[in-house]
C-alpha cells in the first residue's frame, strides 16, 4: 500500500523557526519514525515551495498512490488550482494542518481544499499526519475487503 505525504510552502522550515506554533521537531525526523512504525505502508514524502511542483506531484501520485496526506501550507487559503487537482485525481486526499487554523488569523479560516478532500485534521501538531496515514491505510483495507481483494 502506497501513501504519500505532501507538504507545501515553508514547511521545509519545520523545527527551525516558530516552534511555538509549529513545534520544534524537523519533519524528516518525524517522517523516519513514522516509516519505521508503519512498516506495512510504503510511505513517501514530497515537499515543495512551488505551486506548480505540487500540482505535478498530485497529478503523478494521484493516479498511482492509495492515498495522499496534503498540507498545502498557505496555498490552502489561496489556491483554486490545487483544489481542482485534488478534485481531478482518484486517490483519496486528507488535508492536514499542524496548527489550529481556526484560532488564528481570519484569512486562515477558509480552505479551498477542504471540500475536495475526504476530511481534514487541524491543530494536532505532527500527530495529525500519523492519524491521516492510519485512517487512509484502514480505508484501503476496508475498500479492498468490500471489493473481495483481501
Distance CA 2, CA 145 (A): 17
SS3 content of the chain, % helix, strand, coil (to 5): 50, 15, 35
Residues between 18 and 57 with contacts to ligand CA2, criterion CB under 6 A: 18, 22
- Catalytic residue, chosen from 39, 50, 97, 112, is 97
Q: Take residue 93 and report the three cell numbers written for it.
A: 486526499
For ligand CA2, give the closer residue by CB, 95 or 140.
95
Give yes or no for residue 13 binding ligand CA2 (CB under 6 A). Answer: yes
For ligand CA2, give the closer residue by CB, 17 or 40.
17
- The stretch among 41-49, 67-75, 132-140, 141-149 that binds ligand CA2 (CB under 6 A) is 67-75
CB 29 within 8 A of CB 93: no
Amino acid at each position: 500500500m502506497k501513501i504519500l505525504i505532501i507538504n507545501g510552502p515553508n514547511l521545509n522550515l519545520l523545527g527551525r523557526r516558530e516552534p511555538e506554533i509549529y513545534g520544534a521537531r524537523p519533519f524528516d525526523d518525524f517522517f523516519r519514525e513514522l516509516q519505521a512504525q508503519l512498516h506495512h505502508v510504503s510511505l513517501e514524502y514530497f515537499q515543495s515551495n512551488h505551486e506548480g511542483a505540487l500540482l505535478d506531484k498530485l497529478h503523478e501520485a494521484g493516479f498511482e498512490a492509495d492515498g495522499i496526506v496534503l498540507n498545502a501550507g498557505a496555498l490552502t487559503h489561496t489556491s483554486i488550482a490545487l483544489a481542482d487537482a485534488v478534485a481531478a485525481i482518484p486517490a483519496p486526499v486528507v488535508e492536514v494542518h499542524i496548527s489550529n487554523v481556526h484560532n488564528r488569523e481570519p484569512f486562515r479560516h477558509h480552505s479551498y481544499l477542504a471540500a475536495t478532500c475526504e476530511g481534514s485534521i487541524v491543530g494536532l501538531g505532527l500527530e495529525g499526519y500519523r492519524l491521516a496515514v492510519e485512517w487512509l491505510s484502514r480505508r484501503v483495507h476496508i475498500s479492498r475487503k468490500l471489493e473481495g481483494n483481501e
